């Protein structure tokens, strides 16, 4: 994909090199790694709270340097994030970008409790910030078999900003309420899957509109979508469950199967219209 020369947003909060990773050491690291996959791409805030209390670091706030980072990876997040925001400004009346995108290493405090890189990237509705540990991108490629292409990384970012959109539209809150009233865990999980698949679809909507809002400076090129689909496939719940040596049990899915994740990313890309992302139909 093209992104160099695209407009910067300056909404990056850089906490790299600020420490906060102490809790990731030792035996805890191993335990947390076992959870990878269940947290990949977005996390249920109540789960974050549990993790936070487990590590006893909730509630403290940390501030990083705001602006545009100097390094390539930081600039990528800034430029692509701004492009995603520009798309949503044209798609959602009254759209406001996330408060910031936080770059961190290993662990950091968030409005949803203590965030750890082993959770994968996530969005915290309480402070409206996206949290990214850039090392995850490496892991996505080497451990999960996803694509290392720029577009695959942009898909991750667009998915997380998709959760921000869901916070603005009220979809996230509706799902939380529905989950509280759910009669079984399986039913609650179905709402979670619908929310996640919608964020995948929203990522496709961004990709379809990236070039038109940026006069082509940020653009999806031939072969990019395939890299995104390969990533969507690698992080499907069934694939992750199989990879971790467990049985595939659809009722425990929280993000959707590989086939579903690919299907909704593609649907958003083909229509370019968020209205086509009604993953809640039939629930």
Residues that bind Zn ion (CB under 5 A): 41-42, 196, 199
Opening angle at CA 191, ends 209 and 94, nearest 5 = 40
Q: How many CA atoms lie within 13 A of 267 on its CB side?
A: 18
Rounded least distance, CB 200 to Zn ion, Å: 8
Rounded least distance, CB 282 to Zn ion, Å: 20
Instruction: Give 41 or 264: the residue with its C-beta nearer to Zn ion.
Output: 41
Q: Are 206 and 166 in contact (CB under 8 A)?
A: no
Instruction: Give 18 or 99: the residue with its C-beta nearer to Zn ion.
Output: 99
Rounded least distance, CB 192 to Zn ion, Å: 9
Torsion of CA 83, 84, 85, 87, to 10 degrees: 90
Instruction: Give 42 or 97: the residue with its C-beta nearer to Zn ion.
Output: 42
Phi-psi bin for 52: left (phi > 0), alpha (psi -120 to 50), beta?
alpha
Rounded least distance, CB 215 to Zn ion, Å: 30
Backbone angles phi, psi at 201, to 5 degrees: -60, -40
Rounded least distance, CB 132 to Zn ion, Å: 13
Instruction: Give 42 or 74: the residue with its C-beta nearer to Zn ion.
Output: 42
Instruction: Give 122 or 151: the residue with its C-beta nearer to Zn ion.
Output: 122
The residue with its CB nearest to Zn ion is: 42
Instruction: Give 15 or 261: the residue with its C-beta nearer to Zn ion.
Output: 261
Instruction: Give 69 or 124: the residue with its C-beta nearer to Zn ion.
Output: 124
Rounded least distance, CB 242 to Zn ion, Å: 20
Q: Measured between alpha carbons, how far is residue 142 from residues 9, 138, 240 in Å?
A: 30, 6, 14
In the chain, alpha helices (H): 26-33, 45-55, 72-91, 135-142, 150-169, 171-180, 185-213, 224-234, 237-243, 258-271
Opening angle at CA 238, ends 282 and 176, nearest 5 = 45
> What is the Cα–Cα distance from 264 to 229, expressed in whole angstroms?
10
Rounded least distance, CB 65 to Zn ion, Å: 26
């Amino acid at each position: 994909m093209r992104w160099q020369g695209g407009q910067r947003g300056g909404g990056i909060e850089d906490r790299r090199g600020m420490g906060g990773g102490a809790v990731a050491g030792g035996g805890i690291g191993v335990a947390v790694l076992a959870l990878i996959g269940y947290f990949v791409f977005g996390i249920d805030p109540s789960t974050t709270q549990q993790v936070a209390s487990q590590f006893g670091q909730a509630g403290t706030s940390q501030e990083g340097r705001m602006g545009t980072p100097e390094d390539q990876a930081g600039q990528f997040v800034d430029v692509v994030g701004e492009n995603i925001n520009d798309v949503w400004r044209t798609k959602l009346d009254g759209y406001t970008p996330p408060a910031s995108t936080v770059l961190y290493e290993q662990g950091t405090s968030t409005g949803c409790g203590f965030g750890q890189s082993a959770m994968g990237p996530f969005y915290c509705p309480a402070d409206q910030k996206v949290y990214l540990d850039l090392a995850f991108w490496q892991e996505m490629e080497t451990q999960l078999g996803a694509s290392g292409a720029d577009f695959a990384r942009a898909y991750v970012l667009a998915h997380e900003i998709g959760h921000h959109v869901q916070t603005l539209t009220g979809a996230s809150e509706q799902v939380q309420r529905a989950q509280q009233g759910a009669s079984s865990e399986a039913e609650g999980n179905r709402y979670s899957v619908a929310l996640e698949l919608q964020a995948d679809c929203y990522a496709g909507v961004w990709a379809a509109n990236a070039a038109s809002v940026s006069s082509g400076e940020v653009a999806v090129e031939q072969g990019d979508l395939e890299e995104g689909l390969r990533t969507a496939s690698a992080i499907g719940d069934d694939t992750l469950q199989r990879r971790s040596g467990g049985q595939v049990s659809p009722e425990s899915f929280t993000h959707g199967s590989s086939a579903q994740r690919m299907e909704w990313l593609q649907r958003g890309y083909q229509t370019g219209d968020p209205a086509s992302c009604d993953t809640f139909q039939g629930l």
